[in-house]
Amino acid sequence: MSGAISPATGCEPFRTPAGVFLDTSTGLWSTEWSGLGGWVATMCGGCVDAGWKVMTETYQQSVAAERHPIVSLYHVTKLYGKRPALQDVTLHIQHGEFLFMVGPSGAGKSTLMRLIYMEEFPTEGQVTVAGFVSSKMKRGKIPHLRRKVGLIFQDFKLLEDRNVHENVAFPLYVTGASNSYIKKMVMDVVSRVGLYAKRNSLPRELSGGEQQRVAIARALVNSPHVLLADEPTGNLDPDVTREILKLLFTINAAGTAVLMATHDHDLVRRYGHRIVHVEQGEIVKDEAAYGTPGVVARAALAAEDEAAATAAATERRAAPAAGALQEPQHRNPAPGA
């Protein structure tokens, strides 16, 4: 049967009962028709086509069944001076999982992400990410780990004097990749985030939502196994927030685990994904995902889109009426004017 080997990695994929192929080493897909009914999928991280909706549920079930952590923190304490930013934190993020981390400012969310990115190391305990172990980490291995972990921030952190293409290409330049490979990968991820037409624009020529999309594309260009998003919607209005969430869910559906930190409790409630609550450096609650999270999230986003469209239509209908009220003031200037 065709599709037995993932073209993305050359690894033998795992076949789910529904006929969906999942490469167990990476969680990536590519699409092929099996001839046996149902989708055969090995959708590589970049390929999010019409088939992804069909595949997502099966994918998430198979990932959940596999219970394969991509990130583990074991009894991690991080002190700054004598003050703990994190205290005895144990957390596992499964391959392909979407996880919200909520907590007030100063709770320790960014510190936890820096430990996963191995920008910081635990004072006590151990962090394991894609097979890299914090206590055994050598300086030379850090770039290899960073290729498996994408990062996005509230303030985008783009290079202001470089255009979209150059910003996204940057992580590949530093790895010494060939120009043709860089071009192909950058075009791929820039298209995925919907910015192909703006690939030559500078950050200041883009909206906040577009700038965050550039940051997401930059984080994806190395095909990471896990994406860390530190308050990615903190500076964005509700409509743009929804667009960014949709993009993160789509990226997750294609196999990348996503950890998104936010202080916005209301935002995370609606989408069915697991929610870890952090307060004063401790995990105080870990709420499991409910339903099939991809399905719950899509339904919630669709309902929100519909509500936003209805509100916009109501506003449009109300606008001429308001104009009509104001018009006579222009036509009939005050006496003596």
| Residues lying near ligand ADP in the complex (CB under 6 A) | 80, 85, 103, 105-111
Contacts of 317 (CB under 8 A, 6+ apart): none
Nearest to 265 by CA among 252, 254, 279, 253: 279
- Distance separating alpha carbons of residues 180 and 174, to the nearest angstrom: 15
Between 57 and 282, name the residue whose CB sits nearer to ligand ADP. Answer: 282
Between 25 and 235, name the residue whose CB sits nearer to ligand ADP. Answer: 235
- Distance separating alpha carbons of residues 75 and 92, to the nearest angstrom: 11
CB of 114 to ligand ADP, least distance (A): 8
Tokens of 44: 């590589």
Between 63 and 73, name the residue whose CB sits nearer to ligand ADP. Answer: 73
Sign of the CA dihedral 127, 70, 251, 275?
negative
Between 26 and 111, name the residue whose CB sits nearer to ligand ADP. Answer: 111
CB of 122 to ligand ADP, least distance (A): 13
- Distance separating alpha carbons of residues 70 and 91, to the nearest angstrom: 11
Sign of the CA dihedral 99, 103, 106, 108?
negative
CB of 71 to ligand ADP, least distance (A): 16
Between 35 and 106, name the residue whose CB sits nearer to ligand ADP. Answer: 106
CB of 107 to ligand ADP, least distance (A): 4
Cα angle at 51 between 236 and 192, to 5 degrees? Answer: 40
CB of 268 to ligand ADP, least distance (A): 14
